[in-house]
Amino acid sequence: MQLSSNISLKPFNTFGIEATAKLFTVINSVEDIKELLLHKDYKSNPHFILGGGSNILLTQNVNALIIKNELKGIEIVKETEEDVLVKCAAGEVWHEFVMYCIAKNFAGIENLSLIPGNTGASPMQNIGAYGVEIKDTFYELEAIDLQTGKCITFSKQACDFGYRESIFKHRYKNQFIITSVTFKLSKKPVFHIEYGAIKQELDNMGISELSIKSISQAVINIRSSKLPDPKQIGNSGSFFKNPEVTKETYDRLKNEFPALVAYPLVNSNYKLAAGWLIEQSGLKGMRKGDAGVHKLQALVLVNYGKATGKEIYDLSTEVLEVVNRKFGVLLEREVNII
Ligand code: FAD
Ligand code: EPU
C-alpha cells in the first residue's frame, strides 16, 4: 500500500473534471485497509472513499486522502436448487458482475445492466433502473469501521434502503468502507419487463422467449440509445432525483399541465419525472460554456470537455431555480457533491 500526493483526479471521475487530491492510495486487500488505518497520514487527514467515480461532482481540489477501493473477487457462498448467495468484492466493476451472474443464469440484477461504477458503491444509493433496485436482491454487506478497524456485517434492514438512499449516504457517510456485497439471486427467474420501454425493445429485437440475457440486452440497448457514454461526454448519470410530491401537488400540476409525467406511489404520493420538468422548462440541450443539459436526457448534466465542477454545479442551481419557478417543485441533487 502506497500513498501518493497531489494526484490528478481527472481519470477517476466520469464527469472528467480536473481536480487534484492532496493524497491518494489504492486498496487491494482488507490487510491494506488495516495497514492504512495505522498510517500517520491517514490519522492526520480527512479521507474520502472512491469507487468508479461515476456518481460524484468535484467542485474543488480535494484536501483529503482519497482511498480508491479495488478489492477483487466473486464467490458463491451458498447454493440451493432455488437460489444462490453470491458475494462480490467492492472493487469489482458492477456491470462485469452483472454479466458474470447472467452467464451463470443467476437472476435478479439483469435489469441493472450497464450501470457504471463498482459493486461497493451499489448499496450507497441503492442503485436502480428499469423497475429494479439492488435492495430487491441484496442479502448483506461487509464494511470496515474506519475508526475502530472492525469488520461489521449489515443486513438489508440495517442499510435502511430507500429511493437512491441508504444509511451510508447520510448517518454513516465516510464512516465505513464497504468491502463486499452479497446478493441472493434466483435460479428460477422472475422477469421484470413492466417498465414500458423494455417490452418495446424486446419486440424490436424480435425476442419471443424471454431470458435474463435478452432482458439485459434490451436494457443495454435502451440505455445506450439515450444515456451519454462518459468516455465520450463527461457525466454522472441522473443529476437530480425524481421528486416525490403529495397528491394535492400532483392534482394542482396535472390540472395546469395535463401532459405531466408522474407515477403513483403506494403511500398515495406521486413521483414526477424530473427529466420532463426540466425539458418543459425549456432547458433540454441548454449549454453554458462546456457545461450542459444533455440533448437526449434532460436529467443528465454533461461536461463537453473543459467545464469545471463549479460550472456544472452552477448550472444545476439554475436548473433547480427555473424548474421551481415554473412548477413550484424543488429538485434534489442525486450526485454526491465534493
Ligand atoms: P463513486 O462515484 O466512486 O462513489 C459514490 C459514493 O459512494 C461516494 O460518496 C463514495 O464515497 C461512496 N463509495 C464508493 N465506494 C464505496 C465503498 N466501497 N465504501 C463506502 N463508500 C463508498 N445510478 C443508478 O442508480 N441507476 C442508473 O441507471 C444509473 N445510470 C448511470 C448512468 C451513467 C452514464 C452514469 C455516469 C452514472 C449512472 N448512475 C446510475 C450513477 C452511478 O453509476 C451509481 O451511483 C454507481 O453506484 C456509482 O458507483 P461508483 O463506484 O462510481 O461510485
Ligand atoms: N423525460 C422527458 N424528457 C427527458 C427525459 C425524460 O420528458 O429529457 C420523461 C420521459 O417522458 C419518460 C420519463 O421522463 O417517460 C422517465 O424517463 P426515463 O425512463 O429516461 O427515466 P428517468 O426517470 O429520467 C430514471 C433513473 C435512471 C434510470 C432510469 C431507468 C432517477 C433519478 N433516474 O431516470 O437512473 O436509469 O430511470 O429506470 O431515478 C441514475 O440514477 O443516474 C440513472 C440514470
Q: How far is CA 338 from CA 55, 135, 272, in A?
A: 10, 26, 27
Ligand 2 atom nearest to CA at 195 = 38
Distance, CA of 51 to CA of 59 (rounded, Å):
18
Closest by alpha carbon to 307, among 64, 62, 20, 57? 57
- In this structure, which ligand is nearest to the CA of 172? 1
Assess whether 140 carries a catalytic annotation. Answer: no
Beta carbons within 8 Å of 328's beta carbon, 6+ residues apart? 249
- In this structure, which ligand is nearest to the CA of 261? 2
User: Closest Cα to atom 34, ligand 2: which residue?
Assistant: 238
- Residue 203 CA, ligand 1 centroid: distance in Å: 31
Q: What is the DSSP track for 22-73?
A: EEEEEE-SHHHHHHHHT-HHHHTS-EEEESSS-SEE--S-EEEEEEEE----
Q: What domains are there in the chain, each with its CATH number?
A: 3-69 (3.30.43.10), 74-186 (3.30.465.10), 234-337 (3.90.78.10)
Place of cell 450507497: 124
Provide φ and ψ at 180, rounded to 5°.
-155, 155
- Strands 62-69 and 47-50 turn out to be parallel
Assess whether 334 carries a catalytic annotation. Answer: yes
Q: What is the pLDDT along the chain (338 residues), one digit of tens a residue?
A: 899 999 999 999 999 999 999 999 999 999 999 999 999 999 999 999 999 999 999 999 999 999 999 999 999 999 999 999 999 999 999 999 999 999 999 999 999 999 999 999 999 999 999 999 999 999 999 999 999 999 999 999 999 999 999 999 989 999 999 999 999 999 999 999 988 789 999 999 999 889 999 999 999 999 999 899 999 999 999 999 999 999 999 999 999 999 999 999 999 999 999 999 999 999 999 999 999 999 999 999 999 999 999 999 999 999 999 999 999 999 999 999 99
Helix (H, G, I), strand (E, B) or coil at 316: helix
